[in-house]
Amino acid sequence: MSERLKDCTAIITGGARGQGAAEARRFVEEGAFVLIADVLDSEGQALAKDLGDSAVFQHLDVTDEGNWAAVVDRLTDAGRTIDVLVNNAGILLFDRLTRSSREDFERVMDVNCTGVFLGMQAVASEMKKQQSGSIVNISSVAGLQGVGFQFSYSVSKWAVRGMTKSAAHELARDNIRVNSVHPGLIETAMLDQFPENLQPKVESFVPMGRSAEAAEVAELVLWLASNESSYCTGAEFVIDGGLSVG
């Protein structure tokens, strides 16, 4: 362990399982204190218990401003700074423009887009006080290209990409970095939502010939959270095995 995040406090949304849990584990291994935030209470509590004194769990619906205020208050009331935010929470929907309802579209946008906005807004003032911070927004390769069978999801991830750049421009003078990560196919519960006949077909388009493990994405997120990426902001980091190269 090199303690790349020594004395750092991080919030990871969607941190109870999958990619978020992998990030939480790596952050703790590198010396961070992690607040695991999720709507999956039992899984989040179990992970926090497993990680010991270096982690706590807090229920968080990312679309709820009051929930976000409670997350920030829990850390600041304990005398902690907020050094890193990973906006990892998200939901997937298979839909098309002509076969989607307004209700479904707004549900995806609320979690994947508004949740990221509220998260950045909630931590920005604390990061400004300390004149430092790193925000990592998890977008997707679907935020780099059009995806006809994931209309709402793709739109939401394009929005995350745009918000990241606008926030990075605004917050740079306060030494707050904001970057986006664009994963391809990752071995998580979200990938399990793919129809059985679709997953192998999509994987066949990956030049590296496989989906990624969540731990591989966690390494990239760790680097962006750490000072090793101190001159990176407003950037897009693609981790997709070559899927987006065409």
Hey, which bits of the chain come out as E strands?
9-13, 33-38, 55-59, 84-87, 133-138, 176-183, 236-239
Residue 231 is a catalytic residue: no
Distance, in Å, from the CA atom of 135 to the CA atom of 239, rounded to the nearest integer, reads: 17
Look at the block and give the residue holding tokens 């992970």.
47
Q: Which fold has domain 9-238?
A: Rossmann fold (3.40.50)
Distance, in Å, from the CA atom of 38 to the CA atom of 20, rounded to the nearest integer, reads: 9
Phi/psi region, residue 175 (left: phi>0; alpha: psi -120 to 50; beta: rest), is left
Closest to 21 measured CA to CA, from 182, 190, 141: 190
Torsion of CA 6, 89, 175, 162, to 10 degrees: 150
Whole-prediction pTM: 0.95
Return per-residue pLDDT of the chain as tens, 246 residues: 679 999 999 999 999 999 999 999 999 999 999 999 999 999 999 999 999 999 999 999 999 999 999 999 999 999 999 999 999 999 999 999 999 999 999 999 999 999 999 999 999 999 999 999 999 999 999 999 988 889 999 999 999 999 999 999 999 999 999 999 999 988 876 666 667 666 666 777 899 988 899 999 999 999 999 999 999 999 999 999 998 887
Active-site pick, 27, 33, 153, 237: 153
